[in-house]
Amino acid sequence: MSVYTLAGQEALSDPFVQFSTWYQDAKTVYAREEEASAMALSTCTPTAKPSCRTVLLKDFSTKGFSFYTNYTSRKSTELEANPYAALVLHWPKLGRQVRIEGHVVRAPKEQSDKYFATRPKGSKVGAWVSHQSKEVKDREELLCEWRKLDEKFKDSEDVPRPEFWGGWTVVPYSIEFWSNGEFRLHDRVVYRREDTNVNRWSMKRLSP
């Protein structure tokens, strides 16, 4: 058996295929998709002050892992100034974790439009209302603004995407798969690449 095993199973040579397999397993085990797609996103200012929050994975492909947010939020401000990020998806029921590190780019407008169109109307209106990370007086201030905009769009389901809202894609140069092991001897297989434009990876097994 190869040294690149995860819980006794051979790790696949393509980390995107390996991730897809694990992600499908997670969506099968967790009743709510949000539980499977929740991921910690860590960003950092140019002066090395970190911050972390939970976002939802909405798209992934060989181009990277995408989430959506307000472009004026703290996370977006930090990504604009320091375009690198780390992600962690943890699935305790499966005893699995995936760590992703890479540089970030804004998702194409067409991709953001396509995802925004799938959101419930109330959430679309909410995207217009929220000036994410800015101070507000109280919750009623937000609800009052939401009601005004909901009235404005009452005759249409086609609420346009705000220009200040859209996707970010983490283009990975490192993806690590972790699987819980007996005696805390966990399996860790990391994939790394030098050129993020080429889907060619090296594999290494790490000590737990």
Could you give the residue numbers annotated as active site? 184
Structure tokens at 96: 């699995």
**DSSP-derived secondary structure for 151-195:** HHTTT-S-PPPPTTEEEEEEEEEEEEEEE--GGG--EEEEEE-S-
- Cα-to-chain-centroid distance, residue 129: 23
Query: 3-state SS of 49-113?
Result: CEEEEEEECCEEECCEEEEEEECCCHHHHHHHHCCEEEEEEEECCCCEEEEEEEEEEECCHHHHH
Where residue 202 falls (left for φ over 0; alpha for ψ -120 to 50; beta otherwise) is beta
By the 10 Å C-beta count (0-12 exposed, 13-18 middle, 19+ buried), 102 is classed as buried
Beta bridge partners of 106: 168
Beta bridge partners of 190: 176, 204
